[in-house]
Structure 1
Amino acid sequence: MKVLVADDDAGSLLVARAAVERSGHDCLTAADGDEAWAMYLEHQPDVVVTDWMMPGMDGMALCRAIRAREADLYTYVVLLTSQGSRDDVLAGLEAGADDYVTKPLDPFVLHARLLVALRVTTLHADLAHYRRVLSRQARTDPLTGLHNRLKLSEDLEQLHVRSLRYGEDYSLAMCDVDNFKTYNDLYGHQAGDLALRAVAAALLSTARESDGVYRFGGEEFLLVLPKQSLGGAKALVERALDAVREAAIAHAGDPSGQLRLSAGISAFAAGNHVDAETLLGKADGALYAAKARGRNRVELAR
């Protein structure tokens, strides 16, 4: 673990450092509360062992600041104090400390506290990891591995706000696999799943690093194209349709004999006060126009 010890008493600081290093942990030291806070922000230690009374930020204030800042990672805080009354102990715990040790510091007692700290911080690190995994899973389509509707709503809101603020264009492209119900009827749902994965791969292969590719639902996909005008978006989406054609997925139920894609595109431009939901509707309307005009094509929303 990385352990930060803060104490304005040089002798106590040396004892604490020796105990921490003898326990096999990396040790950082600070001579006052302000220095401790700066080192905490820079190094993000797993454990903070802090004196109660120090110049600048005292131990109680340091505890509160650490707890106010923490997100996924948990810092185990031990208060060093010569004040052993019950009220003082409760005040320290309420401020965010996990444990306390009275002075003069006993290296054995600190070693024991660090064993507990290791268990607690490891548990918190595991929980943070599982939270991140669950968060990714909740925002990922399990079939294609693309982002899903939940992630789309978050990303599109952020993009729209940013584009409004900075006067930037962006485009949305709604894509739909042509005659997909017939494909499933002819080849079965397992083949349909494989086809959707192939379409997802084709879309990813043509998207820029800054673009977002989402499974919108069923056989529908959405491309979110930041800083992309209507004309630029059309060129990119036509390349995506070419990539699907090049995949050469046989489809006896399509006039072309192969799986094809249709798309509709809408665009946000600076000075255009339309909201993101309206743009989605316009892209969907353009997609229906592409279907009505023979499929296997791109149409632009007007």
Structure 2
Amino acid sequence: MNFEDRVAIVTGAGGGLGRAYALSLAARGTKVVVNDLGGARDGTGGSSSAAAAVVEEIEAAGGTAISNSASVTDRDAVQAMVDDVMAKWGRIDILINNAGVLRDKTFAKMTLDDFAFVVDVHLMGSVNCTKAVWQHMRDANYGRIVMTGSSTGCYGNFGQTNYGAAKLGLVGFMKSLAIEGAKNNIHVNSIIPVAGTRMTEDIMPEQMLGIYAPEKVAPAVVFLASDEAPTNTILGAGAGGYHAAHVTLTKGIMLKDEERTAETIASRFAEITDRSGETVPQSGAEQGALVMGRQDELN
């Protein structure tokens, strides 16, 4: 895969997964913007040293990179970062929305401020960065954008209602954005990583951290950032495993007027949820189209 002359912004790249992505892209010739606020895992504090250290690693290996310590929640700072990159390199081909925080608690104990902050960083932070590069990618008729989803967003996890809401929100954002970007060759995908990082160091047993090294996720993100990337794909990666997740639709049932009651739905719920013959709609409109296509069953 050829990344020569490509320019990438990787957010949250001062450590863990973002660092692995930045190093991997730089090793293939990509000019990389290493963005990291340098804050604690809960988003407090800040330092430019984490991003600068990754830039030093890239340069020591013969690559090209610059650091940036903007918070993805700060729209003006994000716009300034993008403006600086365009002034320096004249293009932005790749955006990896990786920056994130954790403020885990059960919903009963969680404050709404902590809920909103996690959504702001993960979801709105990705929106802010994407909006700042979107027109540049449209003008260039090329773009590769990767959102960072999560198994928590797709399947749930105890104590992570805020994180899960933000992560599944990113999948919805990705799906609509992929449709809008298609005519301008902008491919938008989501990565669902399982990795041993600062985010998971007290969740994952120490002996598992090596098995789930961030470097094992990086090849999937490099693929999603490449010319060969698909679009509208949820790609999972971790510990050497790679798989896809889908939002599916069962065939379900059609009910005539006299049958259309809550009791009928309850009695036939097993048929409604039967996964045989389920489909993977490529747009929201397909759900309506599938129902309209079965109207003759009601006659």
Provide the TM-score with structure 2 as the length reference.
0.33
Where is the helix percentage greater, Structure 1 or Structure 2? Answer: 1
Provide the TM-score with structure 1 as the length reference.
0.32
Where is the strand percentage greater, Structure 1 or Structure 2? Answer: 1
